[in-house]
Chains A and B, each alone.
Chain A
Amino acid sequence: KAGVTQTPRYLIKTRGQQVTLSCSPISGHRSVSWYQQTPGQGLQFLFEYFSETQRNKGNFPGRFSGRQFSNSRSEMNVSTLELGDSALYLCASSPIDRERYEQYFGPGTRLTVT
C-alpha cells in the first residue's frame, strides 16, 4: 500500500504570494492532519479533517486554511506569505478503524519564502 504522498516536495515563494500544498492520504484513510515544522517552534498542529469536515484547528492565523475533498485528499493554503512561514509542512493520515491512535506521515513539503 502506498504511503502518504505530498506535492510538491519543494517550493520557493516570495513574500506576499500565496501557496497551495497537496496531500494524498493512504488508501482507505479518511482523517488527514497537517503540521508545520520549524527549527524554532518545532512541530505544531495546523488542522485536522475527517470526511471533509474540519474537526480541530491549531493556533495559526487565518492566512492558513485547508480543505478536504470527497476522496479524502486534502489541500492547505497559505495566503500573503511571510518569511516566518518557511517550514516543512507535514501531512498525516489515520486509518478509519484506528484513527484514535495511529497517524502516518508523508515526506513533507519544504516551503521557502524569500
Chain B
Amino acid sequence: GEDVEQSLFLSVREGDSSVINCTYTDSSSTYLYWYKQEPGAGLQLLTYIFSNMDMKQDQRLTVLLNKKDKHLSLRIADTQTGDSAIYFCAERRDYKLSFGAGTTVTVRA
C-alpha cells in the first residue's frame, strides 16, 4: 500500500478542526476511503468518495478531492477526544484496498 501516502502524526486541540491529508497514485476512476482505527479494534469505515466528485460532507466529516493533484483530505469539525485514533486513507483497485500508513491523531484538551 505504499502508493498511498499520508503524514504520520497530527495533534489538535479539542474543539478545533482536524485536517488529515493523503495522496494517491491511481489516475483511473476509483473509490477513495477514510477509515478510523481505535486501539485494539478493527477498521471503521468513516466515509468514501468517488473520484469524479470534488467534495462530500457527512455530519462533522468533510472530504475534499483534488483529482488533478491526486490529493485527498479529511476534515473533522469540532474535534473531540473520541476522535483520537489512527486514520487510514485507502484507494480501491480491482477488488482490493490499498492503504496509506495511517495518521495518528491526538486530541489534546
Which of B13-21, B64-72, B88-96 forms part of the interface with chain A?
B88-96
* A interface majority secondary structure: strand
- Which of chain B's residues have a CB closer than 8 A to the CB of A55? 94-95
- Which of chain B's residues have a CB closer than 8 A to the CB of A58? 96
Count chain A CB atoms within 10 A of each CB in B45, B96, B101 and give the residue with the most.
B96
Report B48-102 residues with CB < 8 Å from chain A CB: 48, 50, 88, 90, 92, 94-102
Question: Which residue on chain B has the smallest CB distance to residue A9?
Answer: B40
Least CB distance, B22 to chain A, in whole angstroms = 13
- Does the CB pair B42–A56 fall under 8 Å? no
Report A1-42 residues with CB < 8 Å from chain B CB: 4, 31, 33, 35, 42
- Does the CB pair A103–B45 fall under 8 Å? yes
| Cα separation A56 to B102 with both chains bound (whole Å) | 24
Counting contact residues on chain A (CB < 8 A from B), the size range is 20 to 34
Determine if B7 is an interface residue (Cβ-Cβ < 8 Å).
no
Tally of B interface residues using CB under 8 Å? 24
Determine if A112 is an interface residue (Cβ-Cβ < 8 Å).
no
Report B26-58 residues with CB < 8 Å from chain A CB: 31, 33, 35, 41-45, 48, 50
Known: A42-B1, A56-B94. A105 touches B43 (CB 8 A): yes
- Does the CB pair B96–A33 fall under 8 Å? yes
Least CB distance, A112 to chain B, in whole angstroms = 14
| Cα separation A107 to B48 with both chains bound (whole Å) | 20
- Does the CB pair A106–B42 fall under 8 Å? yes
- Which of chain A's residues have a CB closer than 8 A to the CB of B50? 101
- Does the CB pair A90–B43 fall under 8 Å? yes
| Cα separation A50 to B94 with both chains bound (whole Å) | 13
Determine if A75 is an interface residue (Cβ-Cβ < 8 Å).
no
Least CB distance, A29 to chain B, in whole angstroms = 13
A and B contact pairs by CB, cutoff 8 A, 11 listed: A33-B95, A33-B97, A42-B102, A44-B1, A45-B97, A45-B98, A58-B96, A92-B43, A101-B92, A103-B33, A105-B35
